[in-house]
Structure 1
Amino acid sequence: MLNPDKKFNRLQVGLSAGSHFVTDIYQSAYIGLIPFLTVKFDLSLFQVSLLAASTIIANSLFSPVFGMLSDRHGLKYYLIAGPLLTSVFLSFLGVLPDFYLILLFLFIGNLGIAAYHPASAAVAGHYGGGRKGLSSSLINFGGNLGSAFGSLIVILILEKAGIEYTPLILIPGIITSLVLLKYAPKNNIISSSGKSFNIFRSIKRLNRANLYMLFIILFIIYTVYIIWITAINYMPLYYTDKNMSLINIGNILLLFGALGGAAGLLSGYLYDHYKKGYLIIQAGLIASIPLFFFTFKTEGILSTALFIIAGLFLISVQPVCIRMAQDLLPSNMSLASSLILGLSPGLAGITIIFLGKAADKIGIAALIKYELLGLVLSLIILFIFPTMEKRLKKIN
């Protein structure tokens, strides 16, 4: 049955935000290792793209599967398994002796993230009460902040202690799993319809206007993730070529993710109060596109500041996309969340493999400039949204 608690549950939302923070530390930990691994294994940009693809494909394309399972069987054990599996496999990347073994550990570890993300995101829908947008933003902020800190934590261990000590990051994941075992929701929150377990049947039940709106949201977050994945995986190498220290690179990635997550809190608040999600997303895209473009037209502190602020606006649209998808699939909130956090970024991860080949030929700066065309297209497509909403109101 659906969760009967219609009030904002601070414990469950806070627990989900905190565990999301810890879990996503591991998701981005390998990014702090990229400069080290590039030198150790003499990696090309294409091989770096394989690291990104292994991560994104595992934690994204498998996410809808786990989303349907958590809709059917409840959230608790998926919330627990996520940080446990993730921490065990992703804490040892720095000491593995072979590049392909690293890819294997990345893939398996990120399956834990795939299990965790839909259930965590669904907590906002089930326990957010009348502040679901804010709850979604808080949970996303926890993940974005963890992702921002992950690379910096690994870089600090590398700089201060050495690569052999990086497995110490295993400890927070184990502790988090034990906390979730005790405090994660005990009631079996599942879909209100047993048949909703089938992803195609769930989507097929949508009317045409709803279906168009869902596909628009999925395409938008796909183009956002293309830029996001490229930025966090390639910019460490871009800055290394600019003779920037690893600590400074870690700080830039921290600000990129943390400020983006904080901006997501504001976007979630605005969605709760005004429900004009397409306008919030348009504002984020309109701001981020020129900021990314001029990042590579300037130098020094100005270029770095433009990159960080671009990330702020880009990442801010994610929680809005999640809430809009959940509103379209209210009986399948884990599934809706996994489409945004899983299917679209998973497809972006596959795309990154091919873009890695292009990056070897044209360079990082040129690649990101071309990728901005996808955001421009998303911006144009968003103008369809008001028409779709009007049709939906007429149908209802």
Structure 2
Amino acid sequence: MLSKYVYGLSLGHFVVDFSQGALAALLPLLIAQHHFNYAIAATLVFAMNLVSSIIQPLFGFLSDRFHTGWIIIPALLITGLGFGTLGWDNQYYLLITSCLVCGVGIAAYHPDAAKLVNGLADVNQGHAMSVFSFGGNLGFACGPITVTLVANALGISGVGLFILVGGGVALLLAHYFPAMRRQSAQHWQQKRQRESDSPVPVKDDWRHFAILACV
């Protein structure tokens, strides 16, 4: 049986990936409001996705070196702030800045959240990671239709509600984080102990990792 904390981290994954799916649905509204052409509007999606992709390995490196699990909480806040302010920005450079801020939050959340899920899963790692991935995929899928309904009902400024959503989930994970960290740390400590007791030295298999990454 999976820990309830895995579902909490999956909810956070839903929130951060929601913004990536929702941004595309906002483009027609932003085009109409600011009279952008399609190329300029598309750079907003490009900026968010580019920064989240480029910076994510850096956060993964920092996670391994400095145990930055706590970063998932500000990551949710930053993602919510970046996406929520898109409805209020009235200048192109502000829109780009909001997308970049949101991208940083997305990049910061994934490595440490996935690491925590892996630690909390114990022997059910496949199940836990599938639930975690499902949360992100569901957020990406729900983003466009949800943000369209909100914008139609409240106007484009209504996406500011996402700040409250990000903040609420951040508070939830902040409440449970000490317990999550202890449980996950115990798992990794036991794993390192088993590896140290093993007569066969454990090495990083970069060749097969590269194949998996390419796929």
Tell me the equivalent position of 2:75. Answer: 82
**Residue deviations 1:282-313 (CA, integer Å, cap 9, x gap):** xxxxxxxxxxxxxxxxxxxxxxxxxxxxxxxx
Residue 45 of structure 1 deviates from its aligned partner by: 4.0
Tell me the equivalent position of 1:120. Answer: 113
State the alpha-carbon separation in 2 of the partners of residues 141 and 176 from structure 1: 17
1:217 aligns with 2:212: yes
AA aligned opposite 1:211? W
AA aligned opposite 2:127? L
State the alpha-carbon separation in 1 of the partners of residues 181 and 118 from structure 2: 16
AA aligned opposite 1:57? L
**Residue deviations 1:38-70 (CA, integer Å, cap 9, x gap):** 233344443243222211122121111111222
State the alpha-carbon separation in 2 of the partners of residues 70 and 80 from structure 1: 14
Q: Do 1:13 and 1:124's aligned partners in 2 also have CA atoms closer than 8 Å?
A: yes
Residue among 142, 153, 175 paired with 2:146: 153
Correspondence list, 1:204-283, <5 A: 206=204, 210-220=205-215
Residue 128 of structure 1 deviates from its aligned partner by: 1.5
Correspondence list, 1:1-396, <5 A: 9-184=2-177, 185-187=180-182, 189=185, 206=204, 210-220=205-215
SS in structure 2 opposite 1:215?
helix
| Cα RMSD (Å) | 2.3
AA aligned opposite 2:213? L
Residue 25 of structure 1 deviates from its aligned partner by: 2.1
Q: Do 2:116 and 2:181's aligned partners in 1 also have CA atoms closer than 8 Å?
A: no
SS in structure 2 opposite 1:96?
coil
State the alpha-carbon separation in 2 of the partners of residues 9 and 70 from structure 1: 23
Q: Do 1:21 and 1:147's aligned partners in 2 also have CA atoms closer than 8 Å?
A: yes
**Residue deviations 1:187-217 (CA, integer Å, cap 9, x gap):** 3847989xxxxxxxxxxx64xxx43322232
TM-score (norm 2): 0.82
Change in 2 beyond 3 A, CA 1:40/1:152: same
State the alpha-carbon separation in 2 of the partners of residues 48 and 164 from structure 1: 17
Q: Do 1:20 and 1:143's aligned partners in 2 also have CA atoms closer than 8 Å?
A: yes
Q: Do 2:30 and 2:41's aligned partners in 1 also have CA atoms closer than 8 Å?
A: no
State the alpha-carbon separation in 2 of the partners of residues 72 and 81 from structure 1: 19
AA aligned opposite 2:142? F
Q: Do 2:20 and 2:49's aligned partners in 1 also have CA atoms closer than 8 Å?
A: no
Residue 137 of structure 1 deviates from its aligned partner by: 1.0
AA aligned opposite 2:102? G
Percent identity between matched residues is 27
SS in structure 1 opposite 2:122?
coil
Residue 104 of structure 1 deviates from its aligned partner by: 1.1
Q: Do 2:29 and 2:156's aligned partners in 1 also have CA atoms closer than 8 Å?
A: no
State the alpha-carbon separation in 2 of the partners of residues 95 and 84 from structure 1: 17
TM-score (norm 1): 0.46
Residue 135 of structure 1 deviates from its aligned partner by: 0.9
Task: Tell me which moved more, 74-83 or 177-186.
Answer: 74-83
Task: Tell me which moved more, 26-35 or 172-181.
Answer: 26-35
- Unaligned 5+ residue runs, structure 2? 193-202
AA aligned opposite 1:126? G
Query: Aligned pairs, how many?
Result: 199
AA aligned opposite 1:46? A
Tell me the equivalent position of 2:199. Answer: none
- Unaligned 5+ residue runs, structure 1? 1-7, 194-204, 221-396
SS in structure 1 opposite 2:131?
helix
